[in-house]
Structure 1
Amino acid sequence: MNKVSLRLASSFRNRMILIFFMIIIVPFLLFAYYAHIKSIEGISNTNTKMSMSYLLQARKNFEIYLNKLNESVNEVIGNKSLQDLLAKEPLDRAEEEAFTVNLLTVLYHATPVIDAFRVKVYPIKPTNYPSYMRTIDESVRIGDQYWFQRSKSTVSPNWYLTMPQHGKYGKPLLSYVKRFSGIYDQKLRGIIATDLSEDYLRRYFSPSDQLKDQKMLLVGDKGIVHYDSSMNEWTGDPFPSASFISYMKTGEDGAKSITVNGETYLATYVKMATYPWTIVSLTPLHELTGTIDEINRVMFIFLIIYLVCSISVVMYITVYYTQPIAHLVRLMRRLEADNLHYLLPSSSRKDEVGWLYRGVSSLVLRIEGLVKEAARSERNKKALEFQVLSHQINPHFLYNTLESIRWKAENHGRSDISEMVSALGNLLRLSLNQGKEITTLRREIEQVKAYVSIEQARMGQVVRILYSCEEDALDMPFLRLLLQPLVENAIQHSVRDNFDKGKIMITARKEEDDLVIVLADNGKGIPNAVLEQLEKQEEPSEKVSHARRGVGLRNVNDRLKLYFGEAYKLKIETGPENGTKITLRHPILKEGQDLDSIGNG
């Protein structure tokens, strides 16, 4: 799994997708989420402040109304006619009917001052007033009901919620029930009940016109909804969020988001100071965030478009850049397997990818050329080494030398025989050099001297050759068999025709990082045909031609170029009147440096 992940991450295309996602998409999503949260938070805070202010004003207005209601009820209770009528119970049916007429008349004139749906006055013993109870459409057994008994035994007023009943008023009523006694004797006279319908409550708990679907609720101390501005949908039922009921017990006011029946509301509440109610405002969150939702939809559409554009850009980069580069990588891997003859990459594009293709193609061609050149150089090197080995011991030269030794031994008995044999042995020893390609300039000069000594003995002529070498140059590393072929050519083709006047001079000196060897003679010079042959680019043959002039100029020139480069080829100055001057430059080799490293470099 990790290998797959690393392989996917190593792809340029996948990196581009990751970069697009991390740099652009992720910050965009984070910013959108942050803006969304902060917008909802800001709108919620603003709505909370507005709702709280609205609820505080509603509470103030409602408390003012309830105080006035209580004062109006007290005025009715303090009515002298009402007190007198309820002071004593009727003795018979006639008195009870008279009581009914008189009490209803008093209430008719006294209750209009009460701003309520209706007002009912109940004698403390309803069973003694059947006509009156029947007239107000109530049962004489109402005194047995819980609310009546509780109100009769409680000094403080009570509020009761009455839900619709069959044959009764068709909407919930919130009743303000209060017992009253005589003004002077403190004897219980009766109970007065003031009913408030939803029309009266709506005046104080109407939703704001600015927010659609807002709910205004009046919740009792036990969590029962006493009023619901939405057509009494929850009236009479427990508030549908137990967590919010618990939350309301923590303070006098507050706000919290709650979810009811799958709908999320911003709930704000304010408790009433002297009444057992809490005013609650529920605002659907979607109403608050409607504009934000619209912005989110536009943002989502923009994000989709942005993703499509990003994917298009990635696909464009993939098709026009990564795939050509991947194709080029595959070709290069095949080239790594030494398959240089594989179809070279080509592209007609004018951009950087096209330049890359053409650069790789040019590089492959260059590498192929270098490989061929290296192979050709290796063949040349082997052929030249073969020629050198072949010419180290020239059969014809050895034959003539041995014949001279034999002739001298048989006919003269001279002491120079030992000198020739010694010179020949020294020449062979220096030529072989224990199979090593590098010798020293001193040993190379000694080899030349041994060769000249043998030639003088063989030909019976003195070869006038001068040596002028700097002492510190003699022990420098030097490629073997460079000077002897040049001296051989000078003797055979320049000095041999005139031993009396002919002379050869060899000088050696250090010049910066090179050894400079100059071989000069006063012969007739080198023909132009030989010089032209020297510059021709042809591979040396492993078959040694006896017609060639020893190892010759070409062998020395080719070996110098092969090991040290074109800058180290022989420099020849020649002419019929001026003789020949050959300048050989040899780099000063560092300690431990071999010829292979020089040639490859």
Structure 2
Amino acid sequence: MTKMGWRIAGRAFEKLWVAFANLTMQQKLLIVFLTLVCLPLFMISYASSYYYARSIKANTTSYATEITSKTLLKIDDYVTDLYNMSAMPLYNKDFLGWLADPNTGLAKEQGMDLYINNLNKIKPDTVSVYVFDNYGRFKYNIKTGGIRNNLDEVRDEWAKIAMEADGNPVLVSTQEVSTGKDNYYAFSVIRELKQVKFDLAPIGFIVFDTNITAFERQFRDLDDVTKGQTVLVDENDKVIYASDRSLLTRDLSSEESVRQATATSGSFPIRIDGESYITTYARSSLTNWKLIVYIPTAEVTRQAAVTRNVTLLMSGLFVLLALGIAIAISYALTRPLSKIKTLMQEVQTGNLDVSFNQRYRDEVGMLGRHFNIMVTRVRDLLEEVKTTQTRKKEAEYAALQSQINPHFIYNTLETIRMKAELNDDEEVADMTFTLGKLLRYGVNHEEQLATIGQELEHLGNYIALQNMRFSNKFTVLVDIPERDHDIGCVKLMLQPIVENAIHHAFKNRLGTGTIRIDVRHEGTDVVFIVADDGCGMSEQELKTLRERVAGRLPPAARGRGIGLRNVRERIKMQYGEAYGLRIDSREGEGTVVEIRLPLPPEREEAERC
């Protein structure tokens, strides 16, 4: 297809898609159902006959090949039994002695007759047993009829076959046997008998004639299953047994089906007299016989034709039924969606007193449930906004009022400082000046954020006042590089933590106390560590303090943890739940408070570089 053709096809598809997209949901569902269900159903119905027939052929071929091999194994088992029967005289020293003895006697004759008679009873389909010695004599046992009419003719042939096999069993293919009373078809097993205890010299041979009815039941069962015909041929392609008795003893080496059966097992299609057959075969490794099964293709695919017709009829009925069901289902699915659409339009006009009646827990029901949650949340948020606006106005009013007192305090402190300098009281003047700076930093509500540098400066003023008060009892060691002083943080972050250490960690200590402030970087985060060498806390006290700081327990009566909780909540409000405080302590060793903050974006880039 040319580029122009692709463009035209693309535009046509785009128009169809736009037209489809503008249909109602119910119409879309009907079209999708008919396209995705009914159309494939017709296509499947049309193709089912072909693929079903093909599948039937493949399955039949596979099964027939398997059952052919199993039937041939049963034949091999039967032949193996005959081989073993022919070897049984070799294990009877009395019988071998009688056979090698040139003399005759009543005991010898009776013993041999009894033994041969017993051999002939082992298998029901063995017709006769012949035993020949090296002195021109023979013994036999016949179940029905009489001895072979052509015994004199085949005796020399059997002897030659036995001698050439040198003690191994030999199969002689099916022959027509005439006894004068009746005729039957039989195959023979011949084995040379030797004197096993001495020089292994031949002392005669034994022949079993077995009626081919021995295979009749297996072949009949096989034909019943395959609805075909079976042929068993020897290594020279001469028929040993066949479902069609007219083929017995015939040479089939010129037949195409026999010539194609060259492997150990397999299958192939073939036409015989204008009819199509599936041919399966197997070759015996024991006898080199081939079992060939001919299955008429028409018989195999007969059920497929019936199935095709029934499938087409049922498909038509199903399409009509499915169309009605599709209309009902599409209406049932789109009805609650239409209801939700109407409710949304109500919400759009400002009416929040609406609710979807959820009846089921399917996707539409869950959508309605979340719609109800959304409407409820919107109502709550509107109420929250109203409450927040009211509180904000109250806070702004209170802040305007509170601005009067700080200015009065600043002016008063400045007057006290000036009086102290006039009276040469430098210590009071310094304390007053430092307290003024503390108040200006803490009471300024306009700025809620600061830098670490500003926090350290404010902390220095606070420690200076405390050391003036407690005679230089506290030492603060700061190990924060200058490059980290510009990192942003919430205002009054470090001073409440240090104040908490002074009031609780060193309250019972007479000597000095040390507080260390360090920093470490962890990826895109920065962690400030405030550690004291105070009294520390027990496991239970630490657990309780953590619960109070997290807000899961109310503040203690003495107010312990209020400052830490305030810092934690302000950090989380400013930066998110991933940031805040972590408190660890060991009794008698001290307490460590870690403050986790995010690095500014420009510092993150610098850290990566």
Give TM-score scaled by structure 2 length. Answer: 0.39
Give TM-score scaled by structure 1 length. Answer: 0.40
For the pair shown, which has the larger CA radius of gyration, 1 or 2? 1
